[in-house]
Structures are given as structure tokens and as C-alpha cells.
Chains A and B, each alone.
Chain A
Amino acid sequence: MSELLKVERLSKAFGRRSVLRDIGFTVEPAKVYGLLGCNGEGKTTLVRMLMGIIPRDAGVIAFKGRPVTYGEAEYKRAIGYVPEDPFFYGGMSVTGLLAFNGRFFPKWDPKKAEADVRRFGLDPSAKVRTLSRGQQLKLAVVAALAAEPELLILDDPTSGLDVPTRREFLRDIIGELARGGTAVLFATHLVHELERIVDHLFILRGGRIILDEPYDKVKSQAKRAVIGFTGQPPESLDIGNVIGRRRIGQDWELVIYPWSEAVNGSLLALNAARLEVEPLSLEDIFASFVQDAR
């Protein structure tokens, strides 16, 4: 079975406001998926539907080849879920909460939970409500990982964390990946860390997935071209596959995806005074794809 999760024609509206339309994608084991979208584009709604927290209006969610229904709990035992704002019973201690949580997961590993609590520097006897936001997030990660999930879903977990904590978090996720087989679906609008681990990209915009490609491919086929003119630059440029453009003084800056020989040729045919082609960071690529959405 190469598909862990398969989503087809998934739709959701809140009242008359359509949030997600015809969403379809596949998640395979042992890969890291980046689900990118600006705030308000429906990342959390999508994740909540996958986790059966809110019902879907239409569509199919299949886990390991079996369609799941809303309200069903069984498949969720194989999924580790770290929500944006983890909710815990504040009166419980760290140890108490993990023991409580463990009862819901057949593959729960109490030794791993205990070791991770130590590794993350959490005080096992501290009441959950006394933990900082970063510490609560760590606790949520400990709880998600101790269940030995086949799929780990992270909903913008690093927003609001400082850089060292985000790096530490990333290191933990990498450790989990190295354990083998676990797939990760990482919903975020902060792409800097994701860039180092992502295998496959989904970009969500206007309620649809507008990009569903391996990251290596996107990285190698997305380029920035800076075209410099000596005189007055043309008002517009007739170049294909342009996903972002702006004029800076006498230069045009284009973001092109996918890059091709034809695009290369039409850039050369401009006979500009200067032409520079550069790689783009994931952040640049993401920004170009969602630019005029705002």
C-alpha cells in the first residue's frame, strides 16, 4: 500500500462562504508534505476535516485505502496530530496528562514519552496550565510522537515560537522521520524551516490546491529573471509562465514557473541590456504563488 492518505473532491463551506473546493491529494509514507497557504486560506479547516473534528460537506477521505466517516475514531489512532493551539486539561500534570492520553492509543510507548519529556526539558510534575506556549507545544509533540504515528499532522505549530525553539522542534521532527516510515503533513505559512525537510509541496489558495508537486521539481523549475533596460523599459513583457512580476526602476523582475527552453528563448529575444537568472527560496516561490491573492 503506497497511499497512506487519499483525499478526493473535498469541499467545505461555512454558511454561504465556501472555504475549500474540490480538494484532492495523496500522502505516501516516509515523506514530508508542506501544506502552504496564507492565513485564512483554509489550512486549519482542511486539517480539522482530516482529523474528523469538523464534518465535510462533500468528498472522500481514505486512510490506508479505507474511506473514513465523520465521527469515526479508529483511523485516528495511527495519526499524531499537533494542533495550532493544543488544548490540554490545565489541572493535570505533564506525566498525568501523558498517561491519560496514552490510554487512547494502542501503540503508545510510555518509555518514549518519558524520555521525550526529559529531552525537551519539561518538568514531569508541572501542571499543564503553568507551561509556556512553547512548552505546551512540546508536550503536544511528545504526546503525538509517543503514539508511534504513521502520519504526523502539524498545524502551523511553529508560529509564535522563537527561532531556537523552532530549530529544536525541527530537529525532533527529523529524528522522528529517521525512525522510518512516518509521513508528515506540515501546514504552515512560515516556510523557512520547512524548506530543509520538505519532499512535496501543496499550495492552497482561493479554496483550491494550486500547486501539487515534488519540491525538487519546483525548486529546479522556479527562477527569478531580472531584465535590465537602458532606456525606458517596456510597459509589459510577453513572456510565458510568469507567476510574479514587478518593475523596479528600469528593471523588470519576473518570477517564472515552470522554467523552459521556450521561456529562456523569449527572454533572450528581448535583447535587454542585462539579464540575470537566479534561484528562488521556498519563501520567494510561495510568495509569488499567492501574491495577488491579497
Chain B
Amino acid sequence: MLIKVDTRGFMPLYEQVKAEIRRLATLGAVKPNDPLPSIRELAAEILVNPNTVARAYRELEQEGLITTQKGRGSFLSARRAQDSERALEAHLKRKMDETVREIKSFGRGPAEVMKLVEDSLRRLEDSGRKGGGNE
């Protein structure tokens, strides 16, 4: 399972782990009933505190995306893919609301918000073409 986290962003690490698992589920890289790495394995792999992974798993479980069975580990829930699609939509909307709210708090109007979003898309696509290196 290829999970990436970045310590430079505003998003806390556990949120990033959640978002990554959600992303992998939506992409189909992890399928319903597939086992997830143990907390210990994933923490060692992506070099984060096991507490961070544990919190991400706990919250994903509360949200119904994963299930945890004592002694057997965690699995992607067997729910229909639609459901995780819906959860992802809700998550994306929430992230977008946060961003737009922050932009608006600086007194920017709708046109400026749109321009910032478009500029950001263009920048990300440019850096993607250059080999994705924002290191």
C-alpha cells in the first residue's frame, strides 16, 4: 500500500493518513475485504508515530470505511463502493469549504476565489509535468 504523508502542509498527519486510505479505496488499489497493514507496519513504513496511524484507523472505523477484528487486523469495509465514494465526496467538500472559508476570510470575493483555484490547478499540473518534484 503506497501511502504518502508530508510534514509541511497544514493538514495534520493523521488526517493525511485517512485521506490516503480513502484515496486508495476510491482508486480501487485497496478493495473491500482487503487487509490493511497493521498499525505497527504502516507506522514503520511511512515513518510516523504509531499513535498517528492508530488515530487514523480509529476514525476511519467510526466513519465505517474500515473494520477492525480483534487479533486479525483491519480490513476495508465490504460496503458498496458507492458508500466510500460518498464519504470521499463529503471529505472533499469539507476540505474545499475549509480552503474557501480561509480565502474568504481575507476579504476575497467569488471571482478571486475562482482565480486562485484555477491558478492552483495550473501550478500543480505544471509541477506534475516537471516530474512532480515539489521537494
Contact = CB atoms under 8 A, between A and B. Distances in A.
Interface in A136-180: 167, 170-171, 174-175, 177-178
Contact of A178 (B10, B44, B105, B107): B44
Contact of A282 (B7, B9, B50): B7
Contacts of A178: 39-40, 43-44, 50
Given A178-B39, A264-B105, A264-B106, 20 more contacts: A31-B51, A32-B49, A32-B51, A171-B44, A174-B43, A174-B48, A177-B51, A178-B43, A193-B47, A196-B5, A196-B13, A196-B48, A198-B49, A199-B49, A219-B12, A220-B10, A268-B105, A279-B8, A279-B10, A281-B8
Contact of A279 (B9, B44, B48, B52): B9
A253 interface: no
Please name the 5 residue pairs, one residue from A and one from B, whose CB atoms are nearest each other, closest first. A178-B40, A197-B49, A178-B50, A279-B10, A195-B7
Contact of A199 (B43, B47, B51): B51
A216 B12 contact: yes
A275 to B, nearest CB: 6
A4 interface: no
A30 interface: yes
A197 B50 CA distance: 8
Interface residues of A, number: 26
Interface residues of B, number: 21
B10 A196 contact: no
Interface in A235-291: 264, 268, 275, 277, 279, 281-282
B12 A177 contact: no
Given A174-B43, A178-B43, A268-B107, A197 B48 contact: yes
Interface in A191-224: 193, 195-199, 216, 219-220
A174 B41 CA distance: 10
B6 to A, nearest CB: 10
9 contacts: A32-B49, A32-B51, A171-B44, A177-B49, A178-B50, A196-B48, A196-B49, A219-B12, A268-B107
Nearest to A271: B107
A220 B98 CA distance: 13
Given A216-B12, A219-B12, A264-B105, A174 B49 contact: yes
Contact of B50 (A174, A264, A281): A174
Given A30-B51, A178-B50, A196 B7 contact: yes
Contacts of A167: 47
A275 B106 contact: yes
Interface in B1-54: 5, 7-10, 12-13, 39-40, 43-44, 47-52
A219 B12 CA distance: 8
Contacts of B48: 174, 196-197
